[in-house]
Amino acid sequence: MFSSSKAGLSYIIAGIVLRKVIVLISSYCMPSPIVLPQNKPKSCFEIFIVFTLLALQGFGGVISITQRILVEQKRWISQEEFLELFSVAQLLPGPNVCNLSLAIGDRFFGRSGAFSALAGMMVLPIIIVLFVYQSYGYFSDNELVVGAIRGMSVVAGGMTLGTALRLVSGLKSGVMRYQLLLILAVSVFALVGIFRIPIYIVILLIGGSAVIATYRILLRRDTEVK
């Protein structure tokens, strides 16, 4: 009697644990909702803190974590807005993520918001990288550390690929047809990623013609309305 109730209890506990594990796993595997209500940061200080946290989580590229947190968790901006701001940030010279932080901070609190975001992105990472440099002599020969860095870099590359695919959903609101936008994106990838043609040439040629085509569509729409 005693042993069977003990067995029953352990079955129940095992069941509860299993359920928790399944819920935990499935909560990670949920596809992201596409349209979400928008939130806003409360203060410049909150912007500074959030961007510091973004920078600290960004190994080998901050863009993946920025998209994940600002668009999907904090919901400060929509996927489309993120893509727009990021495209301006990438077209202009300078570190993309810094330009992007600036534009997002500016959107909420003007100049001081922009400054807070940029400061959040830079201050702690500079201190950390200098500390890492100071201690680099001790671990540069360590096989474990070198291996870990290698594995992390591969993951960072994969994360960048995944983020790019996630941003494809933001293309739908464009002026041009979705299929055409996809073809443009793929051809940019082929030129830059595979054939390693300098970025500015690709931006000038493909980007330029895409802008002109979009402009002409907008013009035509205008005359049709009139």
Partner 1 sequence: MSTSDWLFLILQFFAFSFLAIGGAMTVASDMHRVIVDDMGLLSNNEFVTAIALGKISPGPNVMFVAVLGYQVGGLFGALVLTLAIILPSTTLAYYVAKWGQFNQHRKWVVAIKAGFTPIVVGLLFSTGWIIVDGFHSMKAWILGTLVMLLVWRTRVHLLILIGLGAILGMLGIV
Stretch that binds partner 1, among 3-11, 16-24, 40-48, 52-60 (CB under 8 A): 52-60
Residue that has been written with the tokens 């904090």 in this structure = 74
Hey, what are 145's tokens? 């550390």
Residues 6+ apart with CB under 8 A from 38: 75, 76, 77, 78
**Whether 118 contacts 97, CB under 8 Å:** no
Q: Does 79 bind partner 1 (CB under 8 A)?
A: no
Stretch that binds partner 1, among 1-9, 16-24, 35-43, 51-59 (CB under 8 A): 51-59
Q: Please say which residue, 13 or 91, places its beta carbon nearer to partner 1.
A: 91
The interface with partner 1 within residues 113-132 (CB under 8 A) comprises 114, 118, 121-122, 124-126, 128-130, 132
Hey, what are 87's tokens? 């495209």
**Whether 136 contacts 68, CB under 8 Å:** no
Q: How far is the CB of 127 from partner 1 (least distance, A)?
A: 9
Q: How far is the CB of 122 from partner 1 (least distance, A)?
A: 7
Hey, what are 65's tokens? 């974590």
The interface with partner 1 within residues 150-169 (CB under 8 A) comprises 150-168
Biggest CA-to-CA distance, the chain: 87
Q: How far is the CB of 67 from partner 1 (least distance, A)?
A: 10
The interface with partner 1 within residues 10-39 (CB under 8 A) comprises 27-32
Q: How far is the CB of 51 from partner 1 (least distance, A)?
A: 10
Q: Does 8 bind partner 1 (CB under 8 A)?
A: no
Q: How far is CA 55 from CA 14, 112, 120, 167, 168, in A?
A: 40, 19, 8, 20, 24
Q: Does 139 bind partner 1 (CB under 8 A)?
A: no
What count of Cα atoms within 13 Å lies in the side-chain half-sphere of residue 62?
A: 23
